[in-house]
Structure 1
């Protein structure tokens, strides 16, 4: 179980906290080579208190962020609305990130399944092909005719020529299902 959040908040009024937070944000931006922040004073103040007067940075999780913001709101009631807004923004950002990762993983699995399907179908299609056989294929929307130069378990290498350019002879490795015998 994580250790309880430790804080050491200063005993300063709202004006002094806002001035220190603004200076802190300015110096931090400059140290990173960024433009100074134009965020509202309450946001800068909550960020300043969370980063400088809690151990949040040692474990910057959603839970720690919430605990830090709740501690700030308890100590400085005038910052409670900003603390609640930051908790909501952080939670929403984490949910968005989780959703994006889940969508990415689904997309990757779909692509793997498609590659497995192409490979399985190509393993069958290559059985009907032979070295030296003339075949038709498409590349970048154009149709070409070439000769099978190599046969693999699921792929073929097709030798063909292009109509222009100095080096007209080309080889292209393709899944066997992407070539069609020329009759």
Structure 2
């Protein structure tokens, strides 16, 4: 049992097998457009959990802990943990946005939501917040972190300038995540 749970790839594969068994065992007879929309919603939530979970990890755990970590241990975080976490962070952001836009398209409200029309304004506001957040991830946080972590060449001045840029964008994303999640969760109930 320990060997199985010690292997993340095997655990993920088993999770997918259970998912497929549930999907086809319970819903195989209703696979269609509505089911495709529901499955995309599932993928959207799954990717969103990864994205926002890592956003909160960075803001509530890693960044506050770094000053207390002894200098000789910091390379473990900056050389191994942060690059891997940032990989999953940025791709989860992209796939959250892509699956969210797909859900909006399949549901027939993408244009109306993005133009903040009545009836879908709440989800539209959430979508715009998510788009700003994804922009921050790919075009502010990730380029700055590549300099900070030494993934790309940067002198000390460039690294020093990148750090507050990345922090501000990350904290803005944390700020936006709170109302964004509210907009997305309550749209179906409130619909405004």
Task: Give the structure-2-normalised TM-score.
Answer: 0.24
Higher relative contact order (CA 8 A, sep 6+): 2
Bigger fraction of residues in strand: 1
Bigger fraction of residues in helix: 2
Task: Give the structure-1-normalised TM-score.
Answer: 0.25
